[in-house]
Amino acid sequence: MVIIKSDEEIAIMRKCGKILAAILDRLRAEVRPGIKTAQLDIIMAEESKKRGVIPSFKNYRGFPANLCVSVNDEIVHGIPGERIVQEGDIVSLDVGARLNGFHTDAAITVGAGRISKEAEDLIAVTEGSLESGIAQAISGAWVGDISSAIQRYVESKRFSVVREYTGHGVGRDLHEEPQIPNFVFGKGSLLRKGMTLAIEPMVNAGDWHTKLAANQWTVLTADGSLSAHFEHTIAIAGNEAEILV
């Protein structure tokens, strides 16, 4: 069931989103050649504590870290650890925070040092596809309008959208209905004022197929190609979505 939030509930999510955006800015600035991904996990924990929010992903279904750090051919759910970021890597940071019982969720992909033209294009296209999806997120439209806008945008640039993982409603739970695929699937749910959604295209430079790493968490491109990920939490507000983070 799709949950409609009250203005008061959205106000909490707005506050949570502002804090999460500030944390993500801090993390973005730390991505550089030589940083160990575990250091990003420590920063996520420290910044969350300092700002009064709880990292949403820690222990979620057993996830062992405070954020997801996915490098190069890792699509999502990378576990920060001993890996050291190298010049030319692209690093996806996926973060969630909870405040007063409500979650927000966001992701970015950042280049470390000088990156290839392909990596640069992939990052720009993934971010652009998120914007094109959000442009469809208006009251009276359908989830399918968001999905098809994202897929059309990505495929017009000769990249591919991941099928097995999708965006989602977000609020009291980190994952609520409806699912928001990044590909054409039909109409889906009607978008109404008060819905809060995490829209999150995952885009591969090569084929869309994925595989699961031995750690049973990290999702990789099946063909070893690069992957990027951008995510905003939005509220359906009327003629224009409000970006909460």
> In this complex, which beta carbon is closest to Mg ion, that of residue 116 or of residue 236?
236
> In this complex, which beta carbon is closest to Mg ion, that of residue 166 or of residue 225?
166
Stretch that binds Mg ion, among 60-68, 74-82, 102-110, 127-135 (CB under 5 A): 102-110
| Closest approach of Mg ion to the CB of residue 216, in Å | 19
| Closest approach of Mg ion to the CB of residue 34, in Å | 28
| Closest approach of Mg ion to the CB of residue 190, in Å | 21
| The length of the chain, given as a count of residues | 245
Say what the alpha-carbon torsion angle 21, 29, 113, 94 is, to the nearest 10 degrees: -40
Stretch that binds Mg ion, among 118-126, 127-135, 146-154, 200-208 (CB under 5 A): 200-208
> In this complex, which beta carbon is closest to Mg ion, that of residue 160 or of residue 233?
233
Q: Reading across the β-sheet that carries 227-229, which strands appear in turn?
A: 160-161, 202-204, 227-229
Per CB under 5 A, 105 contacts Mg ion: yes
Single out the residue of 154, 198, 235, 245 in contact with Mg ion (rule: CB under 5 A).
198
CA distance 190 to 140: 6
Secondary element (H or E) of residue 10: helix 7-30
Q: Which stretches of the chain are assigned E, i.e. beta strand?
A: 54-55, 68-71, 74-76, 90-99, 102-111, 160-161, 167-169, 176-180, 196-199, 202-204, 210-212, 219-221, 227-229, 232-235, 242-243
> In this complex, which beta carbon is closest to Mg ion, that of residue 89 or of residue 200?
200
Residue appearing with tokens 């019982």: 101
Amino acid 206 reads: G
> In this complex, which beta carbon is closest to Mg ion, that of residue 165 or of residue 185?
165
Stretch that binds Mg ion, among 4-12, 38-46, 97-105, 140-148 (CB under 5 A): 97-105
Could you list the residues that contact Mg ion (CB under 5 A)? 105, 198, 200
